[in-house]
Chains A and B, each alone.
Chain A
């Protein structure tokens, strides 16, 4: 098995999710990584330290903007020239578009939303929770390169302390890959870690009662060193920005700790956070579905429980 991992990066750092996938690839066999962008050569060390035996670098001004199609061009050449049989991606807005474009270019199978990958009887098997995670599906690939997109937060990065051999990758862009232009590029708007990478998330739902009560959520998140999330209901109501939305139509997260405040636990929300390590729910409705999948549920008043919790966490953490 010769595996290539797409190492997505932002603001001079390889994304934690990509490093996690790299760790998984290294565990299954020899793993190479690819860095695509402008001024990305300095990130090869970070890739080597996290398990890549070899890193291909496509460093070109034309690759500066994180647009998918130029990345498909680079990956397609690498797979063809180097004979990689497997290409792995950590899910993101960019990675999903790159993976699907590459699948079409190579006529290769792409399995997405995977929660694990294993070698069974000499063949690669992906594990995919489906239909709101009510069933686990084992998926395989036909002939040709095998492409896979993993759920964010599926694997933790592992520091191996190694170093990678560095090789330049060919950059030759197709005409249609140059037909899209980044006019304005996103930079993190909110303070703290972005949601997919956060180890702790405190999220608020309609049970907060009003937008002003999001300060309770923000204070607790700050005390725990985490990020703030929201449900679609409160985003639709204009209480909190869409960029913080967790759920089927928002982000899928899997932090170590997820604290749901005033969230009922609708399926729309559940599918975006149920892979979290530990789920805590605080809700005044004892029948809320969230209590069915929370590890620790508190039936109580948000306004009583959350401020007290924030205070106690601050005492514990010494600040």
Chain B
């Protein structure tokens, strides 16, 4: 079983937008996107259940993203491929999905895993675009995954309850953070990660362009909320609250 896990490096700590470039400031420390750790953990479980295989991490980002990848290698992934190229810096969904799909075409995994969202851009759509480019089936928001007999079966939550969806391999699966508790890398894992293969590619190596079909036009501050009221309960707070709701015609 060959599994690819798409992971992202996200800025650590408080995030801010660089007002000059109107892009997220990525100059500080980076970390492995927390949601992606669940996808790495699930890959380790699927590999164990299959009795072996290989887990390759696939990422696009600045060269320092190699550090975030090393954390996922320390968890137990086998090697990583990082696409890093100045020309990819402003890539949007269309561009990023094209680049990741190009790497995945080279790797030909049986299963591609994603985390449920990027913690920085709040994006929760990439897997579907990548699946489309690979022409493979996709299951998203998966909270329980079993891979057997050439199929992936996922239980996932929607607005209406739980679906169970089955897809033939090769397939793309995005997992929710309810699926597992990611392990902490062991000391042995951390030491071992340093000698695991970390490949770096440019867009030219892949023969693709990143690009974007969306753009940021302007930034502004959100409107402040109106007047607010805060009271201490002296036994009549419920009555005051009901009056407030009635005034706003909410009852």
**Interface, chain A (partner B; CB < 8 A):** 10, 66-69, 72, 92-94, 96-105, 107-113, 125, 129-131, 133-144, 149, 174-177, 179-189, 194-196, 200, 224, 242-243, 248-249, 251, 256-257, 278, 280, 282, 286, 291, 293-301, 304-305, 308-309, 311-313, 316-317
Contact = CB atoms under 8 A, between A and B. Distances in A.
Contacts of A134: 222
Contacts, number: 264
Contacts of B171: 179-180
Contact of B230 (A67, A94, A97, A291): A291
Given A131-B15, A181-B166, A299-B230, A242 B93 contact: no
A99 B220 contact: no
Contacts of A242: 143, 157, 178
Contacts of A311: 238
A183 B164 contact: yes
A137 B116 CA distance: 23
Interface residues of B, number: 83
Contacts of A143: 213
A142 B228 contact: no
A309 B243 CA distance: 11
Interface in B203-238: 212-222, 225-233, 235, 237-238
B126 to A, nearest CB: 7
A316 B132 CA distance: 53
Contacts of A278: 245, 248, 250
Contacts of A301: 233
Chain A binding surface, main DSSP class? mixed
19 contacts: A93-B157, A93-B158, A96-B125, A100-B126, A100-B132, A103-B93, A108-B213, A110-B94, A135-B220, A137-B216, A139-B215, A186-B161, A189-B161, A249-B177, A295-B225, A295-B229, A296-B230, A299-B231, A299-B233
B232 A300 contact: yes
A140 to B, nearest CB: 5
Given A180-B137, A242-B178, A109 B94 contact: yes
A194 B160 contact: yes
B162 A296 contact: no
B163 interface: yes
B159 A184 contact: no
Contacts of A243: 157, 161-162
A67 B164 CA distance: 11
Contact of B228 (A113, A174, A296): A296
